[in-house]
Amino acid sequence: MRLQTIAVHSGVDKDKSYNSVITPIYQTSTFRFEDIGTTKGYDYTRTSNPTRKALEENIAALEGGLSAKAVATGMAASTVALHFLRAGDHVICTNDCYGGTERLLRTYGDMFGFQLSYVNMADLQAVRSAIRENTKGFWIETPSNPLLNIVDIRALASLAHEHHALAFVDNTFLTPYNQRPFELGADIIIHSTTKYLNGHSDVVGGAVVVNQPALADRLHTIVNTLGVGQSPFDSWLVLRGIKTLIPRMKAHEENARGVAEFLSRHSGVQRVYYPGLPSHPGYEIAKRQQRGFGGMVSFEAKGGIEKINSILRSTKIFALAESLGGIESLICHPATMTHASMNPELREKAGINERVIRLSVGIEDQDDLIEDLDHALNA
């Protein structure tokens, strides 16, 4: 089956009692045993639940993985992924990663003695120089947030494997429709399903996907032990959202491209970050390793912070909010919002200055979006 058919059909048809076409919400904490030691496959919802399982089958199939776990949030997914490592391991992380990921790594680093190196992963030589004896994980996020830098997953995964390290890829921004990390050598894929996979800004969720049997066993143990599995209701919402993933991704991209081209032509704009523009430094790699360029666009406006604040306050359709990947357009100021928790020195070094504005381009009418931005830029 091709991807859009998988998105619609995988993980449904679960109801053998009444043949409901849509997977029911099994809103139960526990399951009656058939007899001592015999269940119908489920005993307790922390361990497994049929609605969550349906979502997990769907996400695993979309990523071409062996096994997926749906968890409470994207950060829960990253937390689960970190448990594939041990205290004292060294992790190399992309230097402009999601702010919450940096905070998680820092917190775990302090608590459990992880060693961390943040490097510009577009520079393979810099990654090579950062490798230590105890390097056990490469934390890859591409395109990065919010600057949409592109790194070469295949090259990094093979470098990780040369050193017996795991290649983690956060595939939140592109989704399995636009980027296939396992085909490029990734070992563990992380998602914030809060974003495009659910796509409707009405749930928080996460997923971890693996494609090796040993990792699948460990993944199940970690999620069950930590108790971070997603609730049946939230799992059902994400499963519903995924059915329209591909038409949504196409609409997001068409609008994002229009917005990026509009911003590139606007005299009030200093710089546009969109990997689908040939001027973007990651354009060639993006073209090679991605099916599409996604729906996120960042830019720097000309002028001081007053101008930036004026733009952020002036849009009417783009709502000033964190998060991304929903059908509605959002505008965000990474330095004071999504990346406020990031170590300021690291933030500056990664180029996330206070003039950067990030857009999550929704699926509204493109002309309305462009007019909204034009009005805000000229306000």
Ligand X SMILES: *Cc1c(COP(=O)(O)O)cnc(C)c1O
Does the footprint of ligand X cover residue 192 (CB under 6 A)? yes
Q: Is 98 a catalytic residue?
A: yes
Taking CB atoms, the residue at the shortest distance from ligand X is: 74
C-alpha distances (whole Å) from 259 to each of 178, 263, 280, 298, 347 are 19, 6, 15, 10, 26
Which residues, 6+ apart, have CB-to-CB distance to 354 below 8 Å? Answer: 305, 308, 333, 335, 336
Stretches 95-103, 116-124, 276-284, 327-335: which one binds ligand X (CB under 6 A)?
Answer: 95-103
Which residue among 26, 84, 98, 293 contacts ligand X (CB under 6 A)? 98
**Binding pattern to ligand X, positions 122-151, x when CB under 6 A?**
-------------------x---x------
204 near ligand X (CB under 6 A):
yes
Smallest gap, in angstroms, from Cβ of residue 77 to ligand X? 7
Which residue in 14, 46, 106, 302 is the catalytic one?
46
Task: Mark 64-83 with x for binding to ligand X (rule: CB under 6 A) and - for no binding.
Answer: ---------xxx--------
Distance in angstroms between the alpha carbons of the first and the last residue of the chain: 50
Q: Is 294 near ligand X (CB under 6 A)?
A: no
Q: Which of 69, 195, 266, 347 binds ligand X (CB under 6 A)?
A: 195
Q: What is the DSSP letter of 212?
A: S
Alpha carbon distances (Å) from 314 to 52, 146, 303, 311: 41, 21, 15, 5
Could you give the count of Cα atoms lying within 13 Å of 207 in the half-sphere of its Cβ? Answer: 36
- Whether 170 is a known active-site residue: answer yes
Whole-angstrom Cα distance, residue 238 to residue 72?
A: 11
Q: Which of 89, 96, 152, 170 is catalytic?
A: 170
> Quick one: DSSP state of residue 44?
B
Residues 6 or more apart whose CB falls under 8 angstroms from that of 57 comprise: 10, 11, 68
Active site residue 195: yes
83 within 8 A of 206, measured Cβ to Cβ: no
> Is 46 in the active site?
yes
Of 45, 48, 67, 194, the one binding ligand X by CB under 6 A: 194
**Secondary structure string (H, E, C) spanning 272-304:** EECCCCCCCCCHHHHHHHECCCCCEEEEEECCC
- Contact characters 151-190, ligand X, x per CB under 6 A: -------------------x-xx-----------------
Q: How many residues bind ligand X (CB under 6 A)?
A: 16
**Which parts of this chain interact with ligand X (CB under 6 A)?**
73-75, 98, 100-101, 141, 145, 170, 172-173, 192, 194-195, 204, 206
Residues classed as catalytic? 46, 98, 170, 195
